[in-house]
Structure 1
């Protein structure tokens, strides 16, 4: 089959690789029909996530048709399914609590893995996201093996197009969980750092959940335009001092909750961020945290901080004093996708949530390297790239 493989920083290639096979009784094989490039994939592309190996197949946002099933899979051949990016067994302590992204059984190399040493506990399995998360082949391919297929995939009813439901795999539930973690109350003002795909879905979700006002913060004109189209006010951080603007917009109180949808490669010309950009190139495991620091300082006293943005290592100059003295509550983590997919599929079907507005480019899988390069280097125009197989 054809698949996108990683070979180093900014070096991804579509190559012919062996077809996947059923390994365990709960496995299924999916013929991928649509897959997407995620902002998190760019961290792999930029070489800031460790334990990738040349030839690894990337991609964790995908859907397709079931073509083969193991004897204990609940799927049937011919069904169309969206596959969550987190691989979850459904039966461990964490899955039983619906903390699916903390599954204890889906990372086959957990005990020898670097994540256990860095984080204190091993990460769960994730498709196409390094050997730190199990070394699973990803979905930017013609076919993919799906472990625990009786737990994760959601069957899509007839009449719904791929573009409507593809993002149930990751960024839509991630934006939804980000808003949920912000514990939105009636009359709240929510500020969202980053109007990329997750930030835009967080904005959409916060408004659905009853936020009175949502403020999107970015510097790309088209992304800010998309945020306005969802009903948000916006701040262009290249033109306006973010902290001053937020204080003015909230009567000197600050946002009730803040969402960092940027993560470990934040932009900005603050001194600390420029220093961290250099450190990130030189020192493994160093993250850039300008957006997170700014969100903490902006948040009102007694407010809430939600962090869907990916962080993988260590952060200098973390304002723990502001977190403590202001009494902020922090909620973060990889998304418990399986907890949300059923409800979100219903909302899409009822027309309450639109996902297609985000898609700027559709490319064949063979042009995936071009998609990566443009998604990284032209984020104003390339807001979301969907790859089609076949």
Structure 2
């Protein structure tokens, strides 16, 4: 295992916030995790798992041991009459996995193109875009238990997927025995995902429910678009709306789209007829958080070096540069002000997506 002391983290978080890790371990195989637990100094210390750093806000230097996940590898593990099963290392960039599958003639991930972060982090957040979530393409995962040193496998049911949610975001059970893992209890701070297996169903069917994609299809005059065509449309749409972290530091969508009851939605529509909303299969109604924020006048505004992106109010950005970067405190101050505005106007509490460290 490769251990670094006082390691800079600015390049390891897409917001570009300046911070350091007291200790950083580059995890390139499962044995590195076993070595960390066996180490007399590192073993007893708290741990923090870091993937692509695309969904975190650092509010200071990180004292827990940072486990930087860099496990490589991607392969077609199995093909059945109903699906292709693709296995991917936790350290592989998610978008690279999407590109690889399409290049191999394995469609199914195209709607989730250009989502930042690593494959290992994708089940934690249950990432999704344009009508497809990870849980729709998930087979199973391997993980390492930081309490027992055991490896284990979870299927979709045990991961407890929800909207931008999973068992990996909830507190670990008090019982450290493996039996708890098999029941799929809360695993935050305990489980380190090492490999993910994706299930790409046969026959492939395009997912075109989102308005932006349907508009592209109509404009192109294509009745039955290919997976590659959808991939290109998604990339174009995302690039037109969202800033490239390599150019402007950000953590992607900062707030979750809130869900309300039909009655609550009707009440809001009576006051705000133009509100963007989507009926959900469970009977609830999802509201567009970006629209709510924009309606409160936040688009383009700043607090210190933290700003709201001019093209998409759902994205908070870093208006600083280099060592004169935004601080995590500025980001969270801006986020708090936005939450207050939205609540005062709409009676809705926005929930941040990123993990605050």
Pairwise TM-score range, normalised by the shorter structure: 0.3 to 0.5
TM-score (norm 1): 0.33
TM-score (norm 2): 0.35
